[in-house]
Amino acid sequence: MENRLVRKLESHVRLSAEDVRRLHGLGRQKVRRLRPREDIIREGERPDHAYLVLQGWACRYKVLEDGRRQIIAFLLPGDISDLDIFLPHEMDHSVAAITPIICSEIAREALDGIAGHPRLVEALGRDRLVEAAIQREWTVNLGQRTAIERVGHLLCELFIRLRTIGLSQGNRCEMPLTQTEIADATGLTPVHINRTLRQLRARNLIALHDKELAIPDLEQLKRVSQFNGNYLHLEQAGTPVDGGG
Amino acid sequence: MENRLVRKLESHVRLSAEDVRRLHGLGRQKVRRLRPREDIIREGERPDHAYLVLQGWACRYKVLEDGRRQIIAFLLPGDISDLDIFLPHEMDHSVAAITPIICSEIAREALDGIAGHPRLVEALGRDRLVEAAIQREWTVNLGQRTAIERVGHLLCELFIRLRTIGLSQGNRCEMPLTQTEIADATGLTPVHINRTLRQLRARNLIALHDKELAIPDLEQLKRVSQFNGNYLHLEQAGTPVDGGG
DNA sequence: CGTGCCGTTGACGATATTCAAGTGCAGTGG
DNA sequence: CCACTGCACTTGAATATCGTCAACGGCACG
C-alpha cells in the first residue's frame, strides 16, 4: 500500500491530488518480494534503485567481524530505503527483510519526476529530517537508557510510527519482531530482553504476545521510558484516528 | 579557516576555483565566537541560520529529564551544523561549544548561491551522506562494542576526520575532550573512561596527555577497536599528507 | 518425526556503575 | 602572597546490571 507513504508525508505537509498521484506512481515500479531474513541490499553494493517498502518490516543492520550484529533502523511500510542514489556510493550497511516484504524498486528517472514538485520535495526532505532525528534518538537510547527504558522507548517509537501510517488499532499494533531482533536493536542480549519484557509485562506497561503489542497506557510507558516524541516532528494536531487496518 | 570545509569536500569531489571561492564566501558571513560549554543552538529553538565551524570543536547533545547527557556527534572545523534551514523546524537537540569556537552564521540566501553549482551541491550532499553514516556507526558503537573498543573506535574516527581536514601531525592530533565528554559520547561513566584509557595506554595503543593524542600504530588500534573506516567514504587514494597543523 | 528457531528460566560471571576520597591545577579574591 | 573554589583526573571498594552458559518446552516446517 503506497498510501502509507502518502499518509506519512501528509503528517508533515499537505499534499495536492497531483502530488498524491505521483507518489502512487512510485509504488508501481518494479515490485520485489522477499522472505524474512533475505537481504534487500548488502554492505559494499552500489545500488541504483531506491526501495519503497509497500508491505512488511525491514531493517538496516551492520555486522562486526566476530558476528555481533546491530540493527540500526527499522523500515516500516511507506519508508524509503535509499533516496541518495543520485549520489552513487557504496552501501556501508545492509538492509534485510524481517517479515515477508513487498517493495518497489524506484529508478532514478522515476525520482526526477518529483524534483519539479516543491511540496513533494519538501515532504521528502522533512521525512529525511525525521529519519536523521530517529537515528540520533537511537544513539541516546543506546548510550543512556537502562534496559527497561530502551525497550520501552523502542516500543513507543514503533507504535507511534505505525499509528502515523494508520497501522494501529486503538492501543494495539502488530509487532513482528523476535526477541533476538529487539536485542540486536537495543544492544542487549536476547536473554536479557526476555527478562526485560517480563518486567514490562509485570508492571502492566505492555502486553505482547503472538506478534501483537498492546500498550494499556501510552503516557505511562512514555514516562517510564523517558520518551519524548518531539523528535518525530509530528503535527501536534492531536491523536490520529485509527487506520482500521 | 573555511578551507577545512574545502578540504573535506575535496575528499569527495574535485572542486573548481569558482566552487572554492563560493565556499570561502560561506566563512565570511556573520562570525560568532563562543566559549566552552556555551550553547550555539538549544533544543526547541527554530534556527534560521546554518553554522559553519571555522575553529574549535563543538558537539550535538541531548539531555534526559534526570540529567543524563548523551553527546550525539562532534562538530570539527569545516563541519556545518544545520543545512536543513530550508525546511524550518524545531531543533530536537542542542549544539554546544567544547573548546572556544569561531563559527560563521550562514543565512538562507547565502546557500541559494550554491544551488546553481552542481559540483557543490554534490559535495555537500555527499558530506551529508557521511554525516548520516557516522551517526549509524555510533549506533553500532554504543550497541555492540565493549568499553575499550568504543573509546578506541571514537579516537580512530576523530583522528581520521582531523587528518582529512589537515589537522593531524603525523600520528598525532589535538584531543581537547575531557574524560567526561568522552564518557557522554560513548555512553560510559567518567570513572570507567579513566580506567579504559589507562588500559589503552598500557597496551601502547594510544598516548594521550595535555589535550594531545598520539596513535603509535593506527592499524593496530583499528584492529582492536573493530574499526572499519568505509563508512567515512574517503577516497582510497592513500594516506593524506600532513596539514602542518 | 526430526530439525531448527523462538521463547523461557536458572546459575554464575564479567563488565561497568556507584560511592567515596584524594590529588593537582587554574582562576579568583582577600 | 595565600586561601579558597571548581574542575579534571585518579584510585579503591562495594554493588548493580547485564552477559554467558546451559538446558528445556513449544511450535512450525519439511
Q: What is the pLDDT of residue A156?
A: 98
pLDDT digits (tens, 9 = 90+) for B112-127: 888 889 999 999 999 9
H or E segment to which residue B130 belongs: helix B118-144
Nearest residue to B238 (alpha-carbon basis) of B140, B164, B157: B164
Chain A residue with CA closest to B63: the answer is A140
Per-residue burial over A143-182, b if 16 or more Cβ lie within 10 Å, else e, is bbbebbbbbbbbbbbbbbbbbbbbbbbeebbbbebebebb
Q: What is the pLDDT of residue B1?
A: 57
Distance from CA of B236 to the nearest CA of A (A): 13
Distance from CA of B143 to the nearest CA of A (A): 4
Q: What is the pLDDT of residue A111?
A: 85
- Spatial separation of the C-alpha atoms in residues A25 and A212, rounded to whole Å: 32
pLDDT digits (tens, 9 = 90+) for A55-66: 999 999 999 999
C-alpha cell of residue B56 = 574549535
Chain B residues with CB-CB distance to A87 below 8 A: 122, 125-126, 129
Q: How many contacts does A have with B, using Cβ atoms within 8 A?
A: 106
- Spatial separation of the C-alpha atoms in residues A184 and A66, rounded to whole Å: 14
The residues on B that touch A, with CB distances below 8 Å, are 60, 62, 64-66, 68-70, 72-73, 84, 86-87, 89-90, 92-93, 122, 125-126, 129, 132-133, 135-140, 142-145, 184-187, 226, 230-231, 233
Q: What is the pLDDT of residue A192?
A: 98
- Spatial separation of the C-alpha atoms in residues B199 and B3, rounded to whole Å: 37
Taking the alpha carbons of A212, A218, A222, A228 in that order, is the dihedral positive or negative? positive
Q: What backbone torsions phi and psi does residue A74 show, to the nearest 5 degrees? A: -105, 135
DSSP state of A92: S
Q: What is the pLDDT of residue B109?
A: 87
pLDDT digits (tens, 9 = 90+) for A118-176: 999 999 999 999 999 999 999 999 999 999 999 999 999 999 999 999 999 999 999 99
* Disruptive mutation site among B81, B84, B87 for chain A (greatest number of A CBs within 10 Å): B87
Residues whose CB is less than 8 angstroms from the CB of residue B211 and which lie 6 or more positions away in sequence, other chains included: B174, B175, B176
pLDDT beneath 50, residues of chain B = 237-245
Q: What is the pLDDT of residue B2?
A: 63
Q: What is the pLDDT of residue B115?
A: 85
pTM of the predicted protein model: 0.95
DSSP E strands: which ranges in B87-225?
94-97, 101-107, 168-169, 172-174, 207-209, 212-214
Q: Is B31 helix (H, G, I), strand (E, B) or coil?
A: strand
- Spatial separation of the C-alpha atoms in residues B145 and B142, rounded to whole Å: 6
Rg (CA), chain B: 18
Q: Inter-chain contact A136–B87, Cβ cutoff 8 Å? A: no
- Spatial separation of the C-alpha atoms in residues B26 and B114, rounded to whole Å: 10
Residues whose CB is less than 8 angstroms from the CB of residue B129 and which lie 6 or more positions away in sequence, other chains included: A84, A87, A89, B233
Residue A237 scores a pLDDT above 80: no
Q: Inter-chain contact B87–A144, Cβ cutoff 8 Å? A: no
Q: Inter-chain contact A126–B89, Cβ cutoff 8 Å? A: yes
